[in-house]
């Protein structure tokens, strides 16, 4: 039986965002922020289009979610992101006090764990939801770029 | 003899930004980005006013400087910032490949060094320019808040 609003459901929405990035020739990473079973923010990497290294999917959705909530903390929110956040995004999530972070694919090179950055102690983390789909999209992107 | 455009000169401009943050009841941190002896971006912490944890002085000036330069890298730029960057801002500076970072006061609790985050290997770092002035402004702010 398929559950309507389980982790796979929301990660598919994040992957749809990553696909939009792919179509715009951006490194395909997408994210959604969920509160009370509803998506309150969605975004994808736009660093090339905006000429801005800070325009990662996570950064945009943190800002958008806080704007929606009218407060800067995401204490009762879950973020679904298709690639492990970098140290910048982990640092932003730290300040947001995000409740739960669900990650599709690990980033062995520039992921926050490898770089040494920290999430907030109150944030729970889960890896591997739709990992193969996310990794495949990234692989296809970098293959196209070579 | 006073040099016209030395590190103290530019850090004073960053401190002026920090003072603007103080006046707006924001944690008083300011930054400027300098390229070819000219200030190409300036900003101060606006996390409360914008209800956005990502609105640190450094993040805003990275975005503004890239916008000015028409490219996302700050390879020939110096950032002057009145407080040691957090891991989010260090992560953004990492991606920007900033050439030089000049910091007034250390942040022993939430600074990027304490948190474990990394700047880009090509970024040179200098601490202590107008440290007392910056630390004093921060101290005054938190005293007012108690």
- Which stretch of DSSP H or E encloses residue B35? strand B30-35
Confidence check: pLDDT of A2 > 60: no
High-pLDDT (> 70) share of chain B, %:
98
DSSP annotation of A42? E
pLDDT digits (tens, 9 = 90+) for B39-75: 999 999 999 999 999 999 999 999 999 999 999 999 9
pLDDT for A25 beyond 70: yes
- Nearest neighbour of A51 by CB, restricted to B52, B67, B87: B67
Cα–Cα dist B104/B84, whole Å: 7
Residue owning tokens 């692989």: A139
CB nearest A70 (choices: B51, B54, B67): B51
Provide the 3-class DSSP secondary structure of residue A104. Answer: strand
Confidence of residue A146 (pLDDT cuts 50, 70, 90): confident
Q: Measuring CA to CA, how many Å separate B126 from each of A6, B61, B101, B132?
A: 48, 18, 6, 15
**Mean of pLDDT values over B100-107:** 98
Chain B residues with beta carbon closer than 8 angstroms to that of A66: 51-53
Q: Which residues of B24-61 are buried (b: 16+ CB within 10 A; e: fewer)?
A: eebbbbbbbbbbeeebbbbbbbbbeebbbbbbbbbbbb
Per the CB < 8 A criterion, the answer to whether A82 and A134 are in contact is yes
Rounded mean pLDDT, A49-64: 98
Nearest chain A alpha carbon to B48: A72
Q: State the pLDDT at residue B45.
A: 98
Residue of A nearest to B96 (CA): A53
Contact B63 A71 (CB under 8 A): no
How open is the CA angle B50-A83-A75, to the nearest 5 degrees?
A: 40
- From chain B, pick out residues whose CB is under 8 angstroms from the CB of A71: 51
**pLDDT the model gives residue A19:** 98
pLDDT at A58 over 60: yes
Task: Tally A–B CB contacts below 8 A.
Answer: 99
Per-residue pLDDT at A3: 60
Of the pLDDT bands very low, low, confident and very high (cuts 50, 70, 90), residue A8 is very high
Average pLDDT of the residues of chain B? 96
Cβ within 8 Å, pair B115-A115 = no
Q: Which residues of chain B lie closer than 8 angstroms to A59, CB-CB?
A: 54
Average pLDDT, integer, range A123-130: 97
Whether the CB-CB separation of A16 and A30 falls below 8 Å is answered with yes
Q: Minimal Cα distance from B68: which residue of A?
A: A51
- Starting at the earlier edge strand, list the strands of the sheet with A100-105: A38-44, A30-35, A77-83, A100-105, A124-127
Residue range B67-100, pLDDT digits in tens: 999 999 999 999 999 999 999 999 999 999 999 9
Question: pLDDT band for position B2 (50/70/90)?
Answer: low
Average pLDDT over residues B123-145: 97
- Distance of residue B4 Cα from the nearest chain A Cα, in angstroms: 31
Strands laid side by side in the B124-127 sheet: B38-44, B30-35, B77-83, B100-105, B124-127
pLDDT band at B3 (very low <50, low <70, confident <90, very high): low
What span, in angstroms and rounded, lies between the C-alpha atoms of B130 and A66?
Answer: 34
Q: Give the whole-angstrom CA distance, residue B65 versus residue B69.
A: 6
CB A92 within 8 Å of CB A59: yes
Q: What is the pLDDT of residue A1?
A: 52
């Amino acid at each position: 039986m398929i559950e309507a609003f389980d982790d796979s459901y929301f990660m598919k929405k994040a992957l749809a965002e990553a696909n939009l990035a792919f179509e715009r020739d951006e490194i395909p990473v997408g994210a959604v922020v969920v509160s009370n079973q509803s998506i309150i923010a969605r975004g994808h990497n736009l660093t090339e289009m905006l000429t801005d290294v800070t325009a990662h999917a996570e950064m945009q959705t943190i800002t958008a979610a806080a704007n929606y909530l009218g407060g800067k903390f995401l204490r009762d929110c879950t973020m679904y992101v298709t690639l492990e956040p970098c140290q910048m995004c982990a640092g932003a999530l730290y300040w947001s006090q995000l409740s739960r972070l669900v990650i599709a694919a690990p980033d062995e090179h520039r992921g926050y764990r490898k770089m040494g950055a920290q999430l907030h102690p109150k944030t729970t983390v889960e890896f591997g939801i739709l990992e193969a789909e996310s990794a495949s999209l990234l692989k296809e992107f970098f293959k196209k770029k070579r």
